[in-house]
């Protein structure tokens, strides 16, 4: 009997004790009193084989169909039921012909009432879960479960389409055959959808643990109730436990309505995330949040099996928190109350704290304002003192006053003070030292740079290492028994230093070479040089890594022989070779590192000597019998020499170029660097030339007499006895004169080069990095740079004529060479504007504008002329390249042309515009402004307001001389040039405030000049002006 009862459970035909909330034993006894069937008995064509089980709906028997020769299951109905209603629903279920639904073969509507249905020989899903569900390490189990439930969902979807709701889905009602193909069973309490006869009691039927919230509430049911029940069954399949557990059916039903089940992965982390998401979506309380149909549920399960994205998503954290708050309303209200109290207290505390901080800030601000006023007073006082000292050429006093001014600036922290740029200008003029290092130096001290230290050698043979930042002594070494150290030299790799010393002897003369390590000051070599009184040495140099040249009355080469020993390799007597007085000595010596030739000065003449062929050659360049100093530049392969206070450059072709010089002074040392040549005198002057021979800067140092100087990066180190003064090499606003005594009309910029011309034939380009120059002749009145494909190109055109604009590519690496030329515009032109977007804007006197593409040579846009009797004076293009603004010779308005809509705007400014007006656009504080210069005044308009004919402006004026050119630099600075050559810096910060004094400072070159045009390089922070002079103003 027990076996038969289990078989009934396997078939899932309503024999479970949990089918309905009723006393099934009582109904079974009533059925036994009404009808009794024994094995072997015949009911119609069915022969009863065995009893499988019984329940509240009836008894199930295994039987044999004598007509169709097959085994079937017969369910004989019993109890106090509405048999007509059950039989009618069974007839509807009998129409469900699906491979995954147990088929109903026959419905008998006469007494005894029974169903004949398909017999399944297999196990239920419940047994399958008990056997395999706890073996979580086998991931294939979850895939098999997904396959089974996918087929069950398809079968139930088939039933839903025909209006049948199962209402009692659970593991016992799903059978699995030997191929694990599922069969949905027990449609005993199934319901036809939209049945008008259904009651609340009918909706309540089902197994409590798998009932949906709608079933528990007894409301009208739809297909989503089966989706919930199938989700509850899936939950048990993957977790091996029901979604809700309790001591009674009422407890479980309460949880179904008000609680959420545990997340499956909290029970077993091995459960796939997607499968968990599908399960929880089925178990949503609200029907509209579940799957809308079994087809969508089956599709998500198939996507999981095929490793595709699923529609179900895991619950968000905010949803989990929200649901927890709904379940725990009292706790939530208490927590919110506590948070509100904390927020109120914090707000009160922060308000009081802000008031206290505001009082402290007000007091500090008042104190800072008082200190600021005092600093302004001190700055103005020292500024006037420096200015007076410079005008009187009392540079020593100016240096002292400028140091006080520097201290006042550093204390005031006035980065935007009105006199700041002019302060830097005077700082460059006076050239005070930037640092002063105190060190114990002897007589005739030489300075060498070795890493972060200063290596010094004085005339008594004392070697010392000093910290380059503070001048503190780190190490010191003294050569013993030395009368004097005549010369010293540093090796190319800066690892060793050689000293030429004369030892203290009572008889004859004795010279020695000492070689020391520059980091440890350890003596490496001590080589004695035995000389007669006719062979005196004065200079020494490293010839290569293992050779040293010693020069005086003779030139000797000493080579390394190992074991700290040097031997003489070559000897040359200069008096015999040159026929000069035997008492003369070499006064200057340098070495050509590539050709291994010596360049030296002997008896006032320049000579070249080679040890390989033993040839001595005179270099004809200077008059005889003058003191000459020479230095060879390895980078440029040129020789620099001085005599009679003048500097010369000798190239490999024998050409002699005299450097520019303003004052007469005797040069005692030359240093060559990549772009500059430095020369010093004992009077404390240091001249700096660029590679073209132009004076770059002259520094009047505080060192007199100046024993030695050295250059390290952008700093110049000088010394006299006990002090080292450090000077900044780069000038500030002092302009660098590129070219003078010309009359250039325009200037344009492209990357590292700028181009300027005279408006007739000459076009000059220069490199901002090296100042190298190239010149070409081109019949043009205007030219501008066009950077394209890494080449330099020129747009050139004859203005006010019918000649076309030409587009010319230039090869700058060798010389000017025309590569291609393209004509653009054949009408009467007045000017053109180029932008980096590869567009060329050409306009004529009537403001008719055409836009060209430089890459494709195509005409992009064209706007009509403006009907005016006067012609265009100046034009400007807006930053977004949409608007062109024009001023005309006569009239009192600015005309703006919209290049997109072809619309014209006109704004009356209230005064006449004449031929000298200039116009440009600028972006200030993220807004576009139009800047107009007329006569001696500069007007700044808000461009958006100007388009609406609102002409409020900010006016700036310093002198009555006409503005010839201006440009905007660094966003909030405007630099203007007038007819007197003044360069004036204006402040454009907070431009909307019209009552501020915009004047910052005035800059002038060393002589008055006429400026016609200017351009600013943002990359190098330099201003280039052209006119009677070509000047570069460095603002770094």
Least confident of 352-361, 876-885, 988-997: 988-997
Band of residue 793 on the pLDDT scale cut at 50, 70, 90: low
**What pLDDT score was predicted for residue 3?**
36
> Which parts are annotated binding residues for ATP?
75
**What pLDDT score was predicted for residue 690?**
76
Band of residue 15 on the pLDDT scale cut at 50, 70, 90: very low
Of residues 82 and 28, more confidence is placed in 82
Band of residue 63 on the pLDDT scale cut at 50, 70, 90: very high
In this structure, what token pair is assigned to residue 50?
């065995």
Of residues 227 and 713, more confidence is placed in 227
Per residue in 110-146, pLDDT (tens digit) is: 778 888 888 888 888 988 888 876 654 466 889 899 9
In this structure, what token pair is assigned to residue 585?
């000595």
Most confident of 77-81, 147-151, 331-335, 875-879: 147-151
300 Cβ neighbours under 8 A, 6+ residues apart? 278, 291, 310, 311, 312
- Across the chain, mean pLDDT equals 76
Residue of 232, 195, 108, 101 whose CA lies nearest to 155: 101
Q: How far is CA 368 from CA 364, 418, 873, in A?
A: 6, 18, 49
In the chain, CATH 1.10.510.10 sits at 2-329
Q: Flag whether pLDDT at 232 surpasses 90.
A: yes
CB 854 within 8 A of CB 844: no
Band of residue 182 on the pLDDT scale cut at 50, 70, 90: very high
Query: What average pLDDT score do residues 652-678 get?
Result: 75
Q: Flag whether pLDDT at 577 surpasses 70.
A: no
Q: Flag whether pLDDT at 259 surpasses 70.
A: yes
**What pLDDT score was predicted for residue 725?**
72
CB 210 within 8 A of CB 170: yes
Q: Flag whether pLDDT at 270 surpasses 60.
A: yes
pTM above the 0.75 mark? no
Cis peptide before 131 (omega within 30 of 0): no
Least confident of 49-63, 451-465, 535-549, 762-776: 762-776
What is the three-class DSSP state of 235? helix
**What is the distance between the terminal CA atoms of the chain, rounded to a whole angstrom?**
105
Q: Does domain 2-329 have CATH number 3.40.50.1000?
A: no
**What pLDDT score was predicted for residue 317?**
67
Q: Flag whether pLDDT at 641 surpasses 50.
A: yes
Strand order, beta sheet including 1022-1027: 736-740, 1029-1034, 1022-1027, 1011-1017
- Residue 269: how many CB atoms within 10 A of its CB? 9
Q: Flag whether pLDDT at 421 surpasses 50.
A: no
749 Cβ neighbours under 8 A, 6+ residues apart? 755, 785, 1015, 1016, 1017, 1024
**What pLDDT score was predicted for residue 21?**
34
**What pLDDT score was predicted for residue 767?**
79
CB 124 within 8 A of CB 7: no
Estimate to the nearest angstrom the gap between the alpha carbon of 937 and the chain centroid. Answer: 41
Angle at 218 between CA 216 and CA 221, to 5 degrees: 100
Q: How far is CA 895 from CA 658, 728, 864, in A?
A: 54, 49, 13
- Residue 244: how many CB atoms within 10 A of its CB? 22
Q: How far is CA 716 from CA 400, 432, 440, 647, 675, in A?
A: 20, 12, 19, 20, 15
DSSP 8-state class, residue 129:
H
Query: What average pLDDT score do residues 469-478 get?
Result: 79
Least confident of 26-30, 238-242, 265-269, 722-726: 26-30
CB 988 within 8 A of CB 954: no
**Alpha-carbon span 797 to 763, nearest angstrom:** 12
Least confident of 249-258, 410-419, 612-621, 848-857: 410-419
CB 68 within 8 A of CB 44: no
Query: What average pLDDT score do residues 823-835 get?
Result: 59
Per residue in 188-219, pLDDT (tens digit) is: 666 766 554 554 455 556 788 899 999 998 88
Q: Flag whether pLDDT at 244 surpasses 80.
A: yes
Phi, psi angle pair for 798, to nearest 5°: -90, 110
Strand order, beta sheet including 806-810: 782-788, 791-797, 806-810, 818-823
467 Cβ neighbours under 8 A, 6+ residues apart? 452, 453, 454, 474
Query: What average pLDDT score do residues 23-45 get?
Result: 61
Q: Please state whether 18 falls in left (phi above 0), alpha (psi between -120 and 50) or beta.
A: alpha
**What pLDDT score was predicted for residue 814?**
40
What is the three-class DSSP state of 874? strand
> Which parts are annotated binding residues?
75
- Residue 774: how many CB atoms within 10 A of its CB? 19
Q: Flag whether pLDDT at 314 surpasses 90.
A: no
Q: Flag whether pLDDT at 734 surpasses 70.
A: no
DSSP 8-state class, residue 241:
S
**What pLDDT score was predicted for residue 460?**
83
**What pLDDT score was predicted for residue 417?**
40
**Alpha-carbon span 656 to 672, nearest angstrom:** 17
């Amino acid at each position: 009997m027990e076996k038969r009862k289990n078989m009934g459970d396997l078939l899932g035909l309503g024999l479970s004790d949990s089918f309905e909330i009723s006393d099934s034993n009582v109904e079974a006894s009533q059925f036994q009193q009404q009808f009794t069937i024994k094995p072997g008995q015949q009911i119609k064509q069915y022969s009863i084989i065995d009893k499988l089980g019984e329940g509240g709906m009836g008894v199930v028997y295994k039987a044999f169909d004598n007509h169709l020769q097959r085994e079937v299951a017969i369910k004989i109905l019993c109890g106090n039921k509405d048999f007509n209603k059950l039989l009618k629903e069974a007839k509807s279920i009998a129409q469900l012909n699906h491979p995954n639904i147990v088929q109903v073969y026959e419905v008998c509507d006469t007494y005894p009432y029974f169903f004949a249905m398909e017999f399944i020989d297999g196990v239920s899903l419940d047994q399958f879960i008990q056997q395999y569900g706890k073996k979580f390490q086998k991931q294939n189990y979850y895939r098999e479960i997904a396959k089974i439930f996918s087929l069950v969902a398809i079968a139930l979807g088939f039933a839903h389409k025909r209006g049948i709701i199962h209402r009692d889905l659970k593991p016992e009602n799903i059978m699995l055959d030997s191929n694990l193909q599922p069969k949905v069973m027990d449609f005993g309490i199934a319901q036809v959808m939209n049945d008008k006869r259904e009651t609340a009691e009918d909706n309540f039927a089902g197994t409590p643990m798998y009932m949906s919230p709608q079933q528990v509430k007894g409301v009208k049911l739809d297909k989503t109730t089966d989706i919930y029940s199938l989700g509850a069954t899936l939950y048990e399949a993957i977790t091996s436990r029901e979604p809700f557990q309790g001591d009674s059916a009422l407890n479980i039903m309460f949880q179904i309505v008000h609680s959420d089940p545990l997340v499956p992965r909290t029970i077993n982390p091995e459960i796939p995330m997607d499968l968990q998401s599908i399960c929880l979506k089925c178990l949503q309380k609200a029907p509209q949040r579940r799957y809308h149909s079994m087809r969508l549920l089956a599709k998500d399960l198939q996507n999981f099996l095929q490793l595709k994205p699923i529609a179900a998503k895991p619950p968000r954290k905010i949803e989990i928190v929200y649901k927890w708050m709904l379940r725990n309303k009292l706790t939530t209200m208490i927590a919110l109350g506590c948070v509100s109290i904390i927020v109120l207290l914090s707000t009160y505390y922060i308000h009081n704290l802000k008031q206290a901080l505001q009082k402290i800030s007000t007091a500090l601000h008042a104190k800072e304002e008082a200190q600021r006023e005092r600093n302004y007073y001190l700055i103005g006082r020292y500024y006037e003192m420096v200015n007076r000292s410079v005008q009187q050429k009392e540079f020593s006093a100016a240096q002292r006053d400028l140091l006080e001014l520097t201290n006042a600036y550093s204390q005031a922290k006035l980065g935007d003070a009105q006199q700041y740029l002019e302060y830097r200008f005077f700082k460059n003029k006076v050239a005070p030292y930037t640092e002063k290092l105190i060190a114990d130096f002897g007589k005739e001290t030489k300075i060498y740079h070795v890493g972060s230290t200063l290596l010094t050698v004085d005339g008594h043979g004392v070697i010392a290492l000093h910290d380059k930042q503070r001048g503190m002594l780190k190490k010191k070494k003294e050569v013993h028994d030395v009368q004097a150290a005549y010369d010293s030299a540093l090796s190319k790799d800066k690892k060793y230093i050689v000293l030429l010393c004369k030892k203290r002897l009572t008889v004859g003369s004795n010279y020695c070479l000492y070689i020391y390590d520059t980091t440890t000051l350890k003596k490496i070599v001590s080589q004695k040089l035995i000389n007669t009184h006719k062979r005196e040495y004065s200079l020494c140099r490293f010839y290569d890594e293992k050779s040293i040249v010693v020069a005086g009355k003779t030139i000797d080469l000493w080579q390394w022989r190992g074991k700290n020993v040097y031997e003489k390799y070559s000897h040359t007597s200069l008096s015999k070779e040159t026929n000069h007085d035997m008492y003369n000595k070499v006064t200057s010596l340098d070495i050509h590192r590539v050709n291994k030739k010596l360049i030296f000065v002997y008896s006032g003449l320049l000579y070249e000597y080679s040890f390989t062929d033993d040839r001595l050659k005179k270099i004809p360049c200077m008059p005889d019998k003058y003191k000459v100093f020479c230095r060879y530049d390895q980078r440029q392969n040129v020789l620099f020499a001085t005599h009679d206070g003048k500097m010369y450059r000798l190239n490999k072709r024998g050409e002699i170029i005299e450097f520019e010089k303003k004052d007469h002074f005797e040069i005692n040392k030359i240093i060559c660097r990549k772009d500059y040549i430095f020369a010093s005198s004992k009077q404390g002057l240091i001249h700096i030339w660029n590679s073209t021979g132009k004076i770059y800067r002259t520094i009047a140092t505080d060192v007199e007499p100046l024993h030695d100087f050295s250059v390290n990066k952008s700093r110049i180190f000088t010394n006299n006895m006990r002090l080292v003064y450090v000077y900044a090499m780069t000038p500030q606003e002092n302009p660098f004169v590129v070219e003078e005594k010309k009359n250039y009309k325009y200037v344009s910029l492209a990357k590292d080069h700028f181009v300027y011309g005279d408006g007739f034939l000459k076009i000059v380009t220069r490199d901002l990095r090296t100042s190298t120059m190239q010149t070409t002749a081109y019949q043009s009145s205007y030219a501008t740079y066009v950077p394209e494909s890494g080449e330099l190109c020129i747009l050139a055109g004859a203005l006010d004529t019918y000649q076309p604009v030409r587009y010319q590519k230039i090869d700058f690496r060798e010389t000017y060479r025309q590569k291609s030329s393209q004509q653009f515009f054949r009408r009467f032109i007045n000017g053109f504007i180029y932008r980096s977007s590869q567009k060329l804007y050409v306009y004529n006197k009537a403001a008719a504008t055409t836009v060209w593409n430089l890459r494709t040579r195509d005409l992009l846009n064209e706007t009509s002329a403006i009907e005016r009797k006067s012609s265009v004076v100046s034009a400007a293009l807006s930053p977004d390249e949409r608007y062109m603004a024009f001023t005309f010779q006569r009239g009192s308005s600015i005309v703006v042309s919209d290049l997109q809509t072809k619309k014209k705007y006109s704004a009356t400014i209230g005064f006449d515009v004449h031929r000298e007006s200039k116009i440009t656009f600028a972006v200030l504080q993220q807004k576009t402004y139009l800047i107009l210069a007329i006569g001696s005044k500069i007007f700044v308009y808000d461009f958006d307001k100007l388009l609406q004919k609102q002409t409020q402006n900010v006016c700036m004026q310093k002198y009555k001389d006409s503005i010839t050119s201006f440009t905007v630099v660094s966003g909030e600075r405007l630099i203007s040039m007038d007819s007197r050559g003044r360069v004036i810096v204006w402040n454009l910060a907070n431009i909307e405030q019209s009552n501020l004094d915009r004047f910052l400072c005035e800059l002038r070159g060393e002589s008055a000049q006429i400026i016609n045009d200017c351009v600013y390089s943002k990359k190098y922070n330099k201003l280039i002006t052209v006119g009677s002079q070509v000047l570069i103003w460095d603002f770094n």
